[in-house]
Amino acid sequence: MFDLRVQLPSGTVGRPVLVAWQDIYSGKILAWRVAETLSSHLVQTTFGDVVERYGIPEHAYWTTAASSHPSC
């Protein structure tokens, strides 16, 4: 998790959001994207990157543990 404020492409100052998909067995990051806000579109397109590169996974797990942290 990172906690920093940057000037975003829109010109506002805020915290970027990172969505990443990781293989639990190997620890390899399969796909990632950074955006200004968390959205279902961001999650879906990042998952689409995984499918495009590696095919449809047998299982997929999603957690938002970092976004529920009090500092977020």
Query: How do residues 7-59 score in pLDDT, each as one tens digit?
Result: 988 899 988 888 999 998 999 999 999 998 889 999 999 999 999 999 999 98
pLDDT score, position 46: 96
Q: What is the spatial distance between Cα 4 and Cα 14, in angstroms, rounded to a whole number?
A: 8
Half-sphere exposure of 56 (CA within 13 A, CB side): 1
Token code pair at residue 19: 């969505």
Sign of the CA dihedral 19, 11, 2, 68? Answer: negative
Quick check: 17 and 42 in contact, CB under 8 A?
yes
